[in-house]
Structure 1
Amino acid sequence: MTLENQLIKKRFYETLIEANETNPVRVLGEAFQAGHKDGEADISTIRFAQGEVYFHNKDYEAAIFKWENVHNDLEPWAKKNIADCYYELGQLSTAEEIYQSIDTESSVLQSEIALQLFSLYIDEGSLEKADQVIKKAVSFNPDYPNVTDIARAFFEKHKDWKSAIELAAAEAIRTESPQWFDILKTYAEQGLTNIFEPHYFSKCLVALHRVDQARFEQMVQALWNGYKNEHSYFSWLREFNHLFFDLDTSRKQSWKDLSALYQEAYFELIDGKYLIKELEEIIPSLLTNWLRIADNSHVLFASAAVLAWSEKFPSSISPGVVDDAESLIFRSRNEVDGLEYSLTLFDSIVKWAEAQHVNPSHRFRWLIRELVDFETHHLLVAGTSGNGKSAFINSVLGENIQTAPTSSVIVFKGDEETEIRKISDEELTAFSSFDEFQEAADRRLNKAFDNAIIEFSLPAPMLQENRLALVDTPGFSDRNGMEEVLKYLHFADSLLFVLDANDPFTEKEQEILMQIREYAPHLPIHFLLNKIDEIYDEHEAASIVEDTRSRVRAYVPGARVFAYSSRLRSRKQQNELAEFLKNLSQPIAEDERMEKILIFIRQLISHLLDKRAEMENSLAESIKWNEEMATKLSGAIHQVTDLKEEKARIITRTFHKVLEEIRADLSENIPKILRETSDVIQEDSDFRKIHLELNDEMNRRVHAYVNDKVLPKLYHSLQEWILTANDELNHCQFFLDEISDGFNAMYGEERLKLNCDFKVLDDWRRDAERMTSGMQVEKVNIVLRRTPYQILLKGAGKLLGAFQQNNAMLYNKYKQFVENQDYLEVTESIVSKLLLQFELFAKSLERDISLFFRDPFAVLNQTVEETKKEIAEKEEELERMRANPETYRDPLTLFEVKLRQYEWIAVSAKKVFQA
């Protein structure tokens, strides 16, 4: 045991006693006494040793006493031991103070003091101080036994992953020990390392690559996966690819896991989630490194990826890397399931389009679904107009379908039941009957068939037995070019070109054939020589067949030519036709179907790019249209407002006219009625009460007049007024119906219903009935009014009525009084009371008419608000689309890159170079 180890373990005293000594206290005591007497002996050393013995026997006070009197080279250790005693006694603050006061150059002692302080701080619960002191101990002397292990255990216990990772990374670089690299890898696998920026681990990775390639690959994989879903993922890719590029690596080494990691990362990056500006700096270096280390199972993908990316982004990858990729792709084993990858790409594009709220096209979905059906052979039937193509198809189907000429492609399939569907980009439409289909297919009635596929399933034995689908295309004519045929050439497994035996294989047909060969050079093409029955001479017919076969094979070597008559459906001819079709239906190669799928995926991408422009144009047109509609709606609101005000004036005015007529009648007749009551006065009347009798009679006669004559007349006038109002309001409804019809025609749907509230008329009828059904006229004080003359006359009656001789005088006076009064004030009072409820009714007319128009105004105003809201939303959407076109365009560009990669893989399978 070294001296330092003895001092650490407090076993220094063993150097001063015999090995077999059992009583070190006695031996050291005797030595102390002898040295004290000698005067020259180093008794500090003996005291130090005695302190150790007392410490081991837990006599800490005696040990402290001994160590306090050590004054030689052991004094720093003695102080440290004194602090240990106080630590054991639980006097932590004293121990800490002593530890911190020790001044020594011994790295061992400094490390021991640090470890003791570390333990002390943990016991105190001072974790921050413990953290500081253990980090200082590691920094001062990382090679000191167990110091890094203690630090790591402390960091892990308290989940201080930052410190733990810093320790592991520093020790891995310093020691290049596999243990520390493995510890760091464990942290990375737990997802703890992503709290650091990626460049933090660069030196560690360089050191590990130098030491152990296998561990380097594992470490990279752990760090990569840790950063994958973090914001710093791109920083990691940039940092690592820069670092890895400078390392000495090649395909000669085994990089299987890292190569797989590169492939996974590349596919995720170009899966449509990122913009090109985010990738243009990362992808080239990623592909360069991937190609450099790709193993046999990944080199094909790596090469194809480099070529695809460099084609789309020229000069982004160095020419040497591109050349290397071109060389490798044709020397690589192609064991890739290209069909599965192609279908996955198609599904990714469809899901992306749906997420963008763009219809990915029912037509493309149908095409891909059909191409995946390897049991069915697609035979495309083409030919110029008038060659009997439709008649031939009818003979194959066994039914007189009589397909009307359309610009659509019709796919006839054998099935147990008849079913007809139209597949367009926008929708799937099923037809309930053949007649309905024929009507819809008439080009004069429906142009929507122009870009649609018609799927026509029906019981057709020849199709079912041969697992054949006939793809009928529009006939070539001066008006109808090659567009529809070329569009679906890649859907076909073979092509049957229909010729007319009367003039077979014309120059025009030769030109068409050359276009087809140029567009689909590998498509098998065969010929049907139709109308052979029109050649009456058998030798001439045979000569025509042979001549046609010779001329055709000059263009298409190996092409079959079948002579046929659509009219003569003999069993022999049908059997020969069945055999001919059977020979055409060769087994379908998966790689050929995969190439077709890739072609339609490319068309889908192009379709979606065009769709973007259509969406922008549609939004702009919709905004403009809605603005026009909002203007028209506002104009309609003004029109209805004017109409309402006009009708309110007319209806109110006519009602007031009725009241004025009644008022005039009352004003004229009531005074007459009152004057005529003078006939009540007789000479023998009791003039003491005559004024009361007159007043009652006047009220009775006025009441009778009102109820018997005025109210019936008023009722009749009001009914006529209601009829007039009804005509006016019906005119309003008719006008509003015209408005709503006009708007609904523009909207293309029944969106506006401007229905007025005719309950208003019912209310008016009820009110007219109520107001004219009978009226209790309040008794009016007519004769008893307190004018001076009336007071005088009434008083005279009371006074003189008692004398019979005065009756003649009073009779004349009363008679004169009643007949000569103007009764204007009384009449006005009576008329006002009688017509009060009618006046109130008149005041409510404007409100009632407003209620009549309430719903149309509500509908129009709501439609205006909805239109303005729609305009704002569409303007916002259009602005967003125009401001960030790359959010739509870039994912499609990346899908195209992935598509081109699969095309390269398909080309490599044939070992044919294709630029």
Structure 2
Amino acid sequence: MTLENQLIKKMFYETLMEADEKNPVRVLGEAFLAGHKDGTADISAIRFAQGEVYFHNKDYEAAIFKWENVHNDLKPWAKKNIADCYYELGQLSAAEEIYQSIETESRVLQSEVALQLFSLYIDQGMLEKADEVIKKAVSFHPDYPNVTDIARAFFEKHNDWKSAIELAVNEAIRTESHHWFDILKTYAEQGFTNIFEPQYFSKCLTVLYGADQTRFEQLVQALWNGYKNGRSYFSWLREFNRLFLHLDANREQSWKELSSLYQETYFELIDGTYLMKELAEIIPNLLTNWLKIADRSHALFASAAVLAWSEKFPSSMNPEVVNDAEHLIFHSRNETDGLEYSLTLFDSIVKWAEAQGVEPGHRFRWLIRELVDFQTHHLLVAGISGNGKSAFINAVLGENILTAPTSSVIVFKGDEETEIRKIADEELTTFSSFHEFQEAVDRRLNKAFDNAMIEFSLPSPILQENRLALIDTPGFGEGEALTYVYFADSLLFVLDANDPFTEKEQEILMQIRKYAPHLPIHFLLNKIDEIYDEQEATRIVEDTRSQVRAYFPQAKLFAYLSHVRSRKQQNDLAEFLRNLNRPIAEDDRIEKIFIFIRKLIRHLLDKRAEMENNLSESIKWNEEMVTKLSGAIHQLTDLKEEKARMLTRTFHKVLEEIRSDLSENIPEILRGCSDLIQEDSDFRNIHLELNDEMNRRVHAYVNDKILPKAYRSLQEWIVTANDELNHCQSFLDEMSDGFHAMYGQERLKLNGDFQVLDDWLRDADRMTSSVQMEKMNIFLRRTPYQILLKSAGRLFGAFQQNNAILYNKYKQFVENEDYLDVAESIINKLLLPFELFAKSLERDISLFFRNPLAVLNETVEETKKEMKEKEEELEKMRANPQKFRDPLTLFEVKLRQYEWMTISAKGVL
């Protein structure tokens, strides 16, 4: 046992004892006494040893006393032991103070002190200090026994994964021990390492690569999966691929797991989730490294990915890497299911497009579904106008279906029941009748080529028995008719025996071969029965066959009698068609699927541009509509004010006529009451009689004359008002029709509120019905002359001789009084309801226009809201166009990768 180990275990006292001694207390006591007497012994060493013995026997006070008197080289150890005593006695503060006061150059003692302090802090629950002291212990003496294990256990127990990972990384780099690399891998697998930036592990990985390739691959895989889908994932991909690029890894080594991880990651990156600016600096190095280590099962994918990416982004890939990929792809096993990959790619594009709010179209779905049907042979029947193509198709189908030039591609399929469907990008439509089908495809009714196609299923023995689908196109060069060349498995070109294989026909066929160089092309020589000389007909057939085979050596030719319906010809034709129906190669159909996937990508880009244009046009249209609607609101407001002024003015005219009649006639009626005064009248009460009679006559005049006339005038006014409001409604109807034409639907219902007329009629009846007028003091007013007359009547009325005087005075007064104030008072009371009615006219007319104005204002607000939403949508689309285009670019890269894989299977460039 070394001296340091003896000091650590407090067994130094054994060096002062003989081997057979059993009582260290006695031996050390005798040695201390002897040394003290002669002065030759190291008293401090003996005291140190005695302290150890006392410590082991738990006599801590004696031990402390001994160690306090040690003054030789063992003094630092003695102080440490004193602190241990206080620790055992539970005097932790004293122990801590002494531990911290120890000064020594011994790394062992420093480590022991640190570990004791660590334990002391743990006991006190002082975790921060414990963390600090254990990290110091590891930093200055990591090789000290158990110090790193103690530190790791402490970090793990308290979930301090940052410190635990730092410890593992540092120790792995320092010791290159598999143990620490395995610990780090465990941390990575548990997801703890992603709290560090990826470059933190670069040195560690470099060291491990040189030490153990298998463990390197395992650790990389653990770190990779830990960073996946996290905030530092792209940083990891950049950092690791930069690091791995400079390591001498190659395909001769076994990198199966890492190669698989590269493939998985690559496909995840180009699945449409990320933008090109995020991938531009990642993909090239990732592909370079993948190609560098790709095993046999991944070599095809890696090389195809490199070639596809380099074609799309030539400057991003090293030419040597591209050359390596070109060599590798034709020496790789192709055991992939190309059909599954192509369909998966198509489905992923469709789902992505739908998530972006872009409809990929029913037509593409239909085409792909039909291409997956390997039991049906798609025969495209073509020919220039006048060659009898439609008649031939009708003959094959056994029905007169094609009666006029068509504007749509039609696919005829054999089935048990007849069903006709129009397959457009936007919708699927099933025709309810044959007539409806004819109207939809007749070019005379539909001048423009319709990109939608027709699926015509019908019972047809020749189609069903031969598993054929006939494709009829309106003509090549129109719309997307040429697209269906890619859909066809073979082409039957109809020639006219009277003028076969013309230059125009050759041009069309060359164009078809340019688009589809591998499409089998065969010919039907139609109208051969129109050649009356049999030898001439035979010559034409042979000459045509020679001409055709000069261009198409594998082509078959069938001479067809267009005017003859014989069983033999039908059987020969069926046999001819059966011979065209060669087994369908899966690779051929996969290539066709690839073509339509590429067209789908182009279609989606066009749809995006169309959406932007539609939004822009919609915004512009909405702006115009807001202007028109606002103008309509101003028009209605002006019309409302005009009608209010006009109807109010005419009503006031009626009112003035009534007022004029009352003002003119009431005074006359009152003066006419003078006939009540006679010479023999009782002048003491004549004033009362006159007042009663005046009230009666005025009341009778109002009810018998004024109110009937007012009723007639109001009815005439209401008729006028009704005409005016009807004119207003006509104007509103015209306005509605105009907006309906602009909107293309009945969106605005501008109906005036004619309830106001009913209200006016009711008010007119109420105002012109019998009036119960309150009795007025017409002749009982307190004017001086009236007072004088009434007083004179009472005073002199009893004397007969005074009657003549009173008679003349009363009669003169009644006949000469102007009664204007009386008349005005009566008029004001009588016409008060009419005045109130007049004041409400403006409000009533506003009620008539309230609904139309509300509808227009609401439509303006809705239009502005819609316009704002579309402006925001358009701004969003234009602000970030790459969000839509980049995924399509990546889909195109993936498509090209699959095409390369298919090419490699055929061994052709």
Q: TM-score, normalised by structure 1?
A: 0.96
Match of 1:639 among 635, 643, 646: 635
d(CA) in 2 for partners of 1:723 and 1:634?
31
SS of structure 1 residue aligned to 2:682: coil
d(CA) in 2 for partners of 1:535 and 1:500?
11
Structure 2: any 5+ residue segments left out of the alignment?
Answer: none
1:595-674 aligned at under 5 Å gives the runs 595-674=591-670
d(CA) in 2 for partners of 1:634 and 1:443?
44
Q: Deviations over 1:484-542 (max 9, x none)?
A: 44211111111111122222222221221111112111111111222233334444433
Confirm or deny that 1:802 pairs with 2:802: no
Q: 1:482 to 1:789 in 2, by over 3 A?
A: closer
1:848-859 aligned at under 5 Å gives the runs 848-859=844-855
Deviation at 1:806, TM superposition (A): 2.6
**Equivalent residue, structure 2, for 1:709:** 705
Which amino acid in 1 is paired with 2:517?
Answer: P
Deviation at 1:20, TM superposition (A): 5.7
Q: Deviations over 1:159-208 (max 9, x none)?
A: 11111111110000000011111111111112211111111111000000
Which amino acid in 2 is paired with 1:128?
Answer: E
**Equivalent residue, structure 1, for 2:41:** 41
Deviation at 1:427, TM superposition (A): 2.6
Match of 2:526 among 522, 525, 530: 530
1:37-436 aligned at under 5 Å gives the runs 37-436=37-436
Asked whether the equivalents of residues 406 and 450 of structure 1 are also in contact (C-alpha less than 8 Å), the reply is: no
d(CA) in 2 for partners of 1:81 and 1:517?
98
Confirm or deny that 1:681 pairs with 2:701: no
Confirm or deny that 1:508 pairs with 2:508: no
Q: 1:448 to 1:500 in 2, by over 3 A?
A: closer
SS of structure 1 residue aligned to 2:628: helix
d(CA) in 2 for partners of 1:567 and 1:796?
135
Q: 1:681 to 1:614 in 2, by over 3 A?
A: same
Deviation at 1:403, TM superposition (A): 4.5
Which amino acid in 2 is paired with 1:393?
Answer: I
Match of 1:585 among 568, 574, 581: 581
Confirm or deny that 1:768 pairs with 2:764: yes
d(CA) in 1 for partners of 2:193 and 2:710?
98
Q: 1:703 to 1:175 in 2, by over 3 A?
A: same
Moved more, 823-832 or 431-440: 431-440
| RMSD of equivalent CA atoms | 1.8
Deviation at 1:18, TM superposition (A): 4.8
d(CA) in 2 for partners of 1:416 and 1:250?
60
Asked whether the equivalents of residues 405 and 444 of structure 2 are also in contact (C-alpha less than 8 Å), the reply is: no
Asked whether the equivalents of residues 441 and 449 of structure 1 are also in contact (C-alpha less than 8 Å), the reply is: no
Which amino acid in 2 is paired with 1:235?
Answer: S
d(CA) in 1 for partners of 2:205 and 2:647?
95
1:831-850 aligned at under 5 Å gives the runs 831-850=827-846
Which amino acid in 2 is paired with 1:301?
Answer: F
Q: Deviations over 1:368-401 (max 9, x none)?
A: 1221222222111111111111122122222221
Asked whether the equivalents of residues 422 and 454 of structure 1 are also in contact (C-alpha less than 8 Å), the reply is: yes
SS of structure 2 residue aligned to 1:450: coil
1:746-895 aligned at under 5 Å gives the runs 746-895=742-891
Q: Deviations over 1:693-740 (max 9, x none)?
A: 222222222222222222222122111211111111111111111111
SS of structure 1 residue aligned to 2:583: coil
d(CA) in 2 for partners of 1:509 and 1:808?
135
Which amino acid in 1 is paired with 2:277?
Answer: K
**Equivalent residue, structure 1, for 2:541:** 545
d(CA) in 2 for partners of 1:48 and 1:327?
79
SS of structure 2 residue aligned to 1:159: coil
Residues paired across the two proteins, number: 909
Deviation at 1:33, TM superposition (A): 3.2
Deviation at 1:461, TM superposition (A): 2.6
Confirm or deny that 1:497 pairs with 2:493: yes
Deviation at 1:430, TM superposition (A): 2.4
Deviation at 1:351, TM superposition (A): 2.1
**Equivalent residue, structure 1, for 2:904:** 908
Deviation at 1:576, TM superposition (A): 2.5
Which amino acid in 2 is paired with 1:460?
Answer: S
Q: Deviations over 1:830-860 (max 9, x none)?
A: 1111111111111111111111111111121
Asked whether the equivalents of residues 407 and 441 of structure 2 are also in contact (C-alpha less than 8 Å), the reply is: no
d(CA) in 2 for partners of 1:447 and 1:866?
37
Asked whether the equivalents of residues 254 and 295 of structure 2 are also in contact (C-alpha less than 8 Å), the reply is: yes
Asked whether the equivalents of residues 372 and 589 of structure 2 are also in contact (C-alpha less than 8 Å), the reply is: yes
d(CA) in 1 for partners of 2:216 and 2:815?
133
Deviation at 1:57, TM superposition (A): 2.4
**Equivalent residue, structure 1, for 2:514:** 518
Q: 1:482 to 1:619 in 2, by over 3 A?
A: closer
User: How much identity, in percent, do the aligned residues show?
Assistant: 83
Deviation at 1:133, TM superposition (A): 0.5
d(CA) in 1 for partners of 2:810 and 2:417?
110
Asked whether the equivalents of residues 307 and 326 of structure 2 are also in contact (C-alpha less than 8 Å), the reply is: yes
Match of 1:731 among 727, 730, 737: 727
Deviation at 1:820, TM superposition (A): 1.8
Asked whether the equivalents of residues 473 and 484 of structure 1 are also in contact (C-alpha less than 8 Å), the reply is: no
Asked whether the equivalents of residues 407 and 484 of structure 1 are also in contact (C-alpha less than 8 Å), the reply is: no
Q: Deviations over 1:579-603 (max 9, x none)?
A: 2222222222211111111111111
Q: Deviations over 1:646-693 (max 9, x none)?
A: 111111111111111111121122122212222333333332222222
Deviation at 1:445, TM superposition (A): 4.0
Q: 1:643 to 1:836 in 2, by over 3 A?
A: same
Asked whether the equivalents of residues 303 and 326 of structure 2 are also in contact (C-alpha less than 8 Å), the reply is: yes
Asked whether the equivalents of residues 475 and 481 of structure 2 are also in contact (C-alpha less than 8 Å), the reply is: no
SS of structure 2 residue aligned to 1:853: helix
**Equivalent residue, structure 1, for 2:571:** 575
Moved more, 374-383 or 21-30: 21-30
Q: Deviations over 1:533-574 (max 9, x none)?
A: 333444443333333222222221222222223443333322
Asked whether the equivalents of residues 407 and 442 of structure 2 are also in contact (C-alpha less than 8 Å), the reply is: no
Structure 1: any 5+ residue segments left out of the alignment?
Answer: none
d(CA) in 1 for partners of 2:676 and 2:414?
111
**Equivalent residue, structure 1, for 2:893:** 897
Q: Deviations over 1:346-369 (max 9, x none)?
A: 222222222222222222222112
Asked whether the equivalents of residues 354 and 360 of structure 1 are also in contact (C-alpha less than 8 Å), the reply is: yes
SS of structure 2 residue aligned to 1:455: strand
Which amino acid in 2 is paired with 1:102?
Answer: I
SS of structure 2 residue aligned to 1:505: coil
Q: 1:449 to 1:516 in 2, by over 3 A?
A: closer
Which amino acid in 2 is paired with 1:498?
Answer: V
Deviation at 1:288, TM superposition (A): 1.1
SS of structure 1 residue aligned to 2:429: strand
Q: TM-score, normalised by structure 2?
A: 0.97
d(CA) in 2 for partners of 1:310 and 1:332?
19
